[in-house]
Chains A and B, each alone.
Chain A
Amino acid sequence: MIVLRHVTKRFGSHVALDGISLTVEPGRTHVLLGSSGSGKSTILKLVLGLLRPDAGEVHVDDNLPRSARLAQIGYVVQGGALYPHLTAARNVTLPARAAGWSMERQTSRLQALAALVDLEPELMRRYPHELSGGQAQRLSLMRALMLDPPILLLDEPLGALDPIIRASLQNQLVRIFAELSKTVVLVTHDVREAFVFGAAITLLSEGRVVQQGTLADLAHRPADPFVSEFLSAQAPPPEMTRDLGR
């Protein structure tokens, strides 16, 4: 369970988050939707404990101290943030090595995760510059899952990929999240992606929560003209409107 209460975060004179409150239920996937600069990534960094709020409270799993939080959270960013000097395998097992796991334990976990995200084992010997964008992104997910954390934070994980790969990975991720029953917070600017992943959506604009609910709530009962504006700016594909039951 992740709870933010009246959280404000400033960078100099810029207000990144302005009194945000948010609850993410355990085992559920929650999508933070908004355009760039809306403060979505800042929320993830507050949850990770990389940033401290200027006002308000951030609770993770009933008050885990900031220092213990990181072990409970996996983090994936756009592009993957893989280390270019390490092989795929080394990148993925990095947190396990830091935690002092035995080689056997690292290897078996690596194999299990490769199977989970559907990556060929021999890819593990390659270096990041020898991998495609989709492969790098899946490796990054493997690394986030290495220590089997209950919480997974994803910041535009599919942002840098071409549309076809993006669509197939979206489906794969939905399957994986369902299989693992983790608490997932996913940040995206893409309405379609929000629909694919999230039952619960929080729409953000300029550091404030505009509306929370399902995509149907947002589409049919917009709290604000901005909601309709944001949704229609990214014209939803036909099957999406069908699924919404128009």
Chain B
Amino acid sequence: MRRRAALGLATLALLVAAAAARAEPPSVRVGSKSFTESYILAEIVAQIVDETGEARAERRFGLGGTGLAWGALAAGHIDVYPEYTGTIAQAILKTPALTSVDAMRAPLAAQSVIVSEPLGFDNTYALAVRRESATRLGLRTIGDLARHPELRAGFDAGFLERADGWPGLQQHYGLRFPDVRILEHALTYPALVAGSLDIIDVFSTDGQLGRMDLVLLDDDRHFFPEYAAVLLARRALVERFPRTWAALQRRLGGRLDTATMARLNALADLEHRSFAEAAATFLGRSSTASPQRARQLATLTLEHLELVAISLAVAVLIGLPLGILAARRRRLAQVELAGVGLFQTIPALALLSFMIPLFGIGRVPALVALSLYALLPIVRTTHAGISSLDSRLIEMTTVLGVRGWRRLAWIELPLASMTIMAGIKTSAVLTVGTATLAAFIGGGGYGTLIVTGLALNDVGTILAGAIPAAVMALIIHAAFEALDRVVVPRALRAAASVS
């Protein structure tokens, strides 16, 4: 039994390694955070990488916030991603006194990270209110807000927590709002326009700013640091692909002003053009959109299917022996089921993020987390299926000389197959849904569209990911119903339908 468990673990390791190490031409892994501007900048970087031809761009977009993106760069899971000087000083180097790019070079170099020349625009935080309320309440500067604590504020989670965001601003200007809500950044604009919020945090390059009748409050006491956009790259990238790095510096350095960036953001946010199209617009190329979308869906479907198939296979390879073991050793069963159940109590997104320090970002941590998540139904039903078999039938195996693996393969597994298959089916359908979360750590799949759609506040894009996932869940369920006919002995199904 112990040998079998070891075999299962070895298989897992092999699968994970195989998933990690698909042999491919040299690639530059381009990361982004999960908001429109970051996606577009990363897409521009990726297109320049591909054009230069030294390496192939591998897109690892939508890596949540600064912690995740910087963590991925520092650990070498991505090679380059767009960042802002203010964020580098405050959140990464934790030295708010650093303001110039030149001052940041040395401490970043100590971590093998190179910073590019500023790209040209400054995307600082600002607070926005409707023009109507600005006029009515006489709001011109941030300081003016102190007189109106009744206003309802909605901030995105990052702004609410960062020292250079709300906490610092509150102190700096002596502001106090009893009613502050946390919202996804893209959702704050519609809430403000609809009148359910009065103040939101914005970025000075947000595409919506040009289209809506909003007023940015003046930061007259100079609280917000400068947020000049730069690229952060691993030194290895600069050394290995010098032409690529030079091209990035030449084509992006000082070339992107605030108005241009806001226009590109508007293309994506308001005109629902793809990030690739927005990037191509900046690079002065026309791009063909629709075939790309179709190809993207095909790619995402494959990625999603791969996530589900591999993690389910691993879960079966581990879960089946664990369930059998639990059925054999009653005392072990308690410990085991509690242990496996524990994974289920961890929210899926949290489980995914726990994987990052261990396995970095991308497919591997996603597969590990999904496998752990898929384990419980399989272990539980295998244990229940085998330990609830008619004890007279099992006793008879001893009398008939059917022992060890024969007893398992000839008698116990076939008899329990209906129950076990139900568990695997449940796991499969659950995994299709959970796998959409893999995109939050760069694992790919349909979740990529959902994360993108959330960044764009574009329900269409969210549905473009959510609907195929639902369809895939249905198809997989049907496929397993069909598989039942192969796996579950005919007589058991017949007997079950009679009784």
Contact = CB atoms under 8 A, between A and B. Distances in A.
Contacts, number: 56
Contact of B400 (A50, A128, A129, A143): A143
A98 B495 contact: no
B494 A129 contact: yes
B401 interface: yes
A48 B402 CA distance: 15
Nearest to B499: A129
Interface in B390-423: 390, 392-393, 395-396, 398-403, 406, 410-411, 414-415
Contacts of B415: 83-85
Nearest to B390: A81
A200 interface: no
B446 to A, nearest CB: 38
Nearest to B407: A98
A150 interface: no
B491 A127 contact: yes
B489 A85 contact: yes
Contacts of A216: none
A84 B492 contact: yes
Contact of A129 (B396, B406, B411, B498): B498
Contacts of B492: 84-85
Contact of B411 (A71, A83, A143): A83
Interface in A67-113: 70-71, 73, 75, 77, 81, 83-87, 94-95, 97-99
A68 to B, nearest CB: 11
Contact of A95 (B401, B490, B498): B401
Nearest to A48: B399
Contacts of A127: 490-491, 494-495
A99 B492 CA distance: 26
A99 B392 contact: no
B495 A81 contact: no
Interface residues of B, number: 23
B399 A85 contact: no
Most A CB atoms within 10 A — which of B402, B403, B490? Answer: B402
Most B CB atoms within 10 A — which of A48, A50, A84, A86? Answer: A84
B398 A81 contact: no
Given A81-B392, A83-B393, A95 B398 contact: no
Interface string B196-235: 0000000000000000000000000000000000000000
A94 to B, nearest CB: 5
B393 A94 contact: no
Interface in B472-499: 489-492, 494-495, 498
Interface string B138-164: 000000000000000000000000000
A81 B401 contact: no
Contacts of A99: 401
Contacts of A86: 489, 491
Contacts of A97: 410
Nearest to B415: A85
Interface string B460-482: 00000000000000000000000
Contacts of B489: 85-86
Contacts of A73: 399
B491 A84 contact: yes
B398 A70 contact: yes
Interface string A111-150: 0000000000000000111000000000000010001000
B491 A94 contact: no
Contact of A85 (B401, B403, B414): B414
Contacts of A81: 390, 392-393, 396
A95 to B, nearest CB: 4
Nearest to A95: B400
Contact of B491 (A50, A128, A147): A128
B396 A77 contact: yes
Nearest to B414: A85
Nearest to B403: A98
A50 B395 contact: yes
B458 to A, nearest CB: 52
Contacts of B395: 50
The 9 closest A-B pairs by CB, nearest first: A85-B489, A127-B491, A95-B400, A129-B495, A98-B402, A98-B401, A75-B399, A85-B414, A81-B396
Given A128-B491, A129-B491, A129-B494, 16 more contacts: A50-B395, A70-B399, A77-B396, A81-B393, A84-B495, A85-B489, A86-B491, A94-B402, A95-B400, A97-B410, A98-B400, A98-B401, A98-B406, A127-B490, A127-B491, A143-B400
Interface of B: 390, 392-393, 395-396, 398-403, 406, 410-411, 414-415, 489-492, 494-495, 498
22 contacts: A50-B395, A70-B398, A70-B401, A73-B399, A75-B396, A77-B392, A77-B396, A81-B392, A84-B415, A84-B491, A84-B492, A85-B414, A85-B415, A85-B491, A86-B489, A86-B491, A98-B403, A99-B401, A127-B491, A127-B495, A129-B491, A129-B498
